[in-house]
Structure 1
Amino acid sequence: MDAFYASIEQRDHEEFRGKPLAVGFSGERGVVAAASYEARKFGVHSAMSSKQAIQRCPNLIFTSARFEIYRSVSKQIRNIFFQYTDLVEPLSFDEAFLDVTNSLKNKEFARDIAKEIKDKIFKETGLTASAGISFNKFLAKIASDYNKPDGLFIITPQKAEKFVENLRIENFFGIGKKTAEKMHQLGINTGWDLKQKSEEELIKLFGKQGSVYYLNARAIDNREVNPNRIRKSVGSENTLMEDTNSLPKLCSELDSICRDVLQRMNKISFKGRTVILKIKYSDFKVISKSKTITSFITDFPLLYKIALELLYTVNIDKKIRLIGISIKNSKSELMEDMQKNFQLKIPFKDF
């Protein structure tokens, strides 16, 4: 979807249309959750501090997020997807992979399916979407961002490798800001530069992700669209109203954050055994501490106890700007739980 949260607000509020808009809180500690395309022209983007956003765009309008509305519209859009394929893998509220190899509409060309989906989304929600079409997830994701807003872009097998060779490394799906910076320092600026590195070199530099980069540089991604993708973590964090190193205040914040995390876990029947504490200091340095226990975390006292234990290991001489808690599981943990709860039934027969 194109500027999803901001576009919904502009759809629902005539006074916001055609104007630079940010979804979020405009106060001193505020952060931009989403920005309209009018605001993006000034360099405003999501995760930017509201203070910096206003500096870049003095006429920026702020409006509060309405997540229940966004969730409802997301469900509308997903229902449209399911009219075309059962193989839908959501990435977020506003984005998903669709495998339309065997479309339910019996359409031959993915381009026609994408165009029909875009038209249907606009007709039912009044919002525009951009579609990326290719023969694997890596390329389809890049293509979806290539011609926004209201775009439709195709990367064919014949053109794929050349396309990736010319692609800036920061535009690779799966390469974040820090990794891109590291690559630039190594002289890797484009897909062509990345392609010159051996798989062994990339593994040495980037760990197991190096194998993924090696394949992506050659336009290869063998992952299937997985409609049953297992969620790996649930979390919540809060940017404090003012920086603090007061232990009582931090404990109080942890209390409400842990309750929020547990509520989210219960809502989706999530299980996990690893608790991760995230701290962002006033100088924006981020650290994390984690603890894994032998049983799944299902109640507030246990979660809060572990969160406090982790907090007590953190240096709070410096003031803290943000604090968060997440609970993580792994595939092996889930398999272990399934095996524990699975009882083999053998049909014995009397002779």
Structure 2
Amino acid sequence: MYNITIIAGARPNFMKIAPIIHEIENAKNRGNAIDYRLVHTGQHYDKNMSGDFFEQLQIPEPHVNLECSGGSQAVQTANILIAFEKELLANPTDLVLVVGDVTSTMACALVAQKLHTEVAHVEGGIRSNDWTMPEEINRLVTDSISNYFFTTSETANDYLKKSGVKDEQIFFVGNTMIDTLLKQMPNFKKPLVWNELSLKTKEYIVMTLHRPANVDEENQLKEMISEIMKHSGNMPIVFPVHPRTAKILEGLDISHNRLHTVSPLSYLEFNFLVKNAKAVITDSGGITEEASIMNVPCMTLRDNTERPETITLGTNELVGTNPSNIAPYLNKLFSGNWKQSKGIPLWDGHTAERIIKHLLNLN
């Protein structure tokens, strides 16, 4: 029996591992000797991650929750190292599969290698080249100690090869996040705010901001929102707000009759809003991927991106963090000249199938 321990630490990780679990189940049903154990490190506490959340993704609840939430980067890393070491000693496995770039990804890869267990990194090779981002450090460390890499783009393949990874360790498979998106699209759910705000298709903009560089600098946040409001015509701006950002907004006394701050939404509700929006303004990497596949114009308020394919082939544009950059992009949006998605190779809904096929060959 080929046993795989799958690690998830935050809500987006579960979107990435859901299709992998489905494909393991399919492989088992076809008579393959493969099984998995799902470990939730508990890195991010999320009240939306109830039983309904797992039901929506059609995956079982994790076999264990290590409950390592809270604390600084160092404290959280240390807690995950300690808790996952105990977990892996109690439940040995053939392979630890980590996804994305959260602290859990790096910490669990480290524990696995020190216990002589192979590591596979889903989304290996992604780089922003911005070492101020904790995620970039997590990616660099994880990739330096992984045995196998399941990549989302040729750009990621090139980064890995330049760092000395051998061709036979790299598997270009696509993006499991898009597997989940395409599977769940028919299930997208109209959120309550749709009727409460009398929203209409393609007549509003969705905004998400969570990166410290944007939300912790009070003047920066105020200027950004001011520029967005000034150049967005009569469009309502729907802003699902992280609790930390909500506190900062309250202190800044930012209010505008077209700016609607709402509580964080479920995956199915949020993507309903994105799919029907005129555009998305964000500083999130994952949302740029989803917007590109749904062909929704996307503006990224960052100075770099680890997902360049969303710019070259998708609907994303890198606006930067200078508030004065925002107006030209909004003007372009309203002039009707925004680029169309060209389709991104292997982002086709079959990534997890390719991953499990490779894993079965490795065994």
Q: Give the TM-score taking structure 2 as reference length.
A: 0.28
- Bigger-Rg structure (1/2): 1
**Structure with greater helix share of residues:** 2
Q: Which structure carries more relative contact order (alpha carbon 8 Å, separation 6+)?
A: 2
